[in-house]
Structure 1
Amino acid sequence: MNDFSPALYEVLYVSTLATDQPLSVVAEIAGRARIANAQLEITGLLIFDGQRFCQQLEGPKKQVLKLIERIRNDPRHTNVEVIHHGPLAGRRFQHFSLAFSTVEDEDALARMEQLDGSAALAAFENVCEELEL
Structure 2
Amino acid sequence: MLVRLLYASRASQPLTPEMTESILAKSRAHNNDSGVTGILCFSGDIFMQVLEGGRQPVSDLYSAIIRDKRHHDVVLLDFEEITERRFSGWTMGQVNLAKVNPCTLLKYSEKPCLDPFSVSGKVSLALLEELIATAAIVGR
State the TM-score bracket (shorter-chain normalisation). 0.7 to 0.9
List aligned pairs for 1:14-29, cutoff 5 A.
14-19=8-13, 21-23=14-16, 24-29=18-23
> Per-residue displacement from partner, 1:2-51 (whole Å, max 9, x unpaired)?
xxxxx1101001111112x5423111111100000000000000011121
* Partner of residue 71 from structure 2, selected from 66, 77, 98: 77
Q: Following TM superposition, by how much is the alpha carbon of 1:120 offset from its aligned partner in structure 2, in angstroms?
A: 3.9
1:109 alignment counterpart: 114
* Partner of residue 126 from structure 2, selected from 117, 122, 127: 122
Q: Distance in 1 between matches of 2:114 and 2:33?
A: 28
Tell me which amino acid in the other structure corresponds to 2:33. Answer: Q
1:132 alignment counterpart: 136
| Cα RMSD after superposing both structures | 1.9
Please tell me whether the aligned partners of residues 66 and 74 of structure 2 are also in contact (alpha carbons under 8 angstroms). yes
TM-score (structure 2 length as normaliser): 0.78
2:55 alignment counterpart: 61
Amino-acid identity (%): 26
Q: Distance in 1 between matches of 2:3 and 2:65?
A: 17
TM-score (structure 1 length as normaliser): 0.82
Please tell me whether the aligned partners of residues 6 and 121 of structure 2 are also in contact (alpha carbons under 8 angstroms). no
SS in 2 for 1:53: strand
Q: Distance in 2 between matches of 1:131 and 1:79?
A: 29
> Per-residue displacement from partner, 1:66-122 (whole Å, max 9, x unpaired)?
100100110111111110011122111212111112013485421x22233434433
SS in 2 for 1:70: helix
Q: Counting helix residues as a fraction of each chain, which structure ranks higher? A: 2
* Partner of residue 34 from structure 1, selected from 28, 36, 43: 28
Q: Distance in 2 between matches of 1:45 and 1:114?
A: 20
Q: Distance in 1 between matches of 2:15 and 2:122?
A: 33
| Paired residue total | 125
